[in-house]
């Protein structure tokens, strides 16, 4: 998540920098640094922002689980943590999901896949 995207999401959530810091458990200086591009947005903050966006937009209620959307084979579903924890609407939130046939170890690699997926696209 880059600085511009972070600022856009904060505004969509209708939060001040101070309120956003409180929501994310970081200082107002951190929020300011994210928005100015002085500091990169850490994975745990990016996750929380997407979670808040999903809750704010209310799409989680009507959304289909990822394994339905992506038509995952049974074997792949059984190996995937999103299936194991029944988190198909939050698959982007869970590390180690089996997207595109493999588990991505790093958040940055996972998010490259998630950002092009219709499951996350409904939220952002």
Residue listed under structure tokens 């929380």 = 48
**Residue range 54-73, pLDDT digits in tens:** 887 666 667 788 899 889 89
In 10 A of CB 45, how many CB atoms? Answer: 20
**Residue range 72-93, pLDDT digits in tens:** 899 888 899 999 999 888 888 8
User: What whole-number distance in Å separates Cα of residue 99 and Cα of residue 74?
Assistant: 13
Residue scoring higher pLDDT (34 or 51)? 34
Q: Quick check: 7 and 18 in contact, CB under 8 A?
A: no
Mean pLDDT across 1-13: 94
Find the radius of gyration of the CA atoms of the chain: 15
User: Structural domain boundaries of the chain?
Assistant: 3-41, 66-121
The residues, ordered by sequence, that sit 6+ positions from 48 with a Cβ below 8 Å of its Cβ are 23, 24
């Amino acid at each position: 998540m880059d600085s511009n995207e972070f600022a856009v999401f904060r505004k969509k959530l209708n939060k001040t920098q101070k309120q956003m810091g409180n929501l994310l458990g970081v200082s107002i200086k951190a929020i300011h640094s994210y928005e100015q591009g002085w500091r990169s947005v850490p994975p745990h903050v990016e996750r929380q922002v997407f979670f808040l966006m999903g809750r704010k937009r209310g799409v989680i209620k009507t959304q289909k689980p990822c394994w339905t959307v992506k038509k995952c084979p049974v074997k792949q579903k059984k190996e995937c943590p999103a299936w194991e924890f029944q988190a198909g609407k939050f698959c982007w939130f869970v590390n180690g999901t089996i997207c595109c046939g493999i588990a991505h170890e790093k958040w940055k690699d996972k998010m490259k896949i998630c950002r092009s997926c219709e499951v996350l696209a409904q939220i952002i």
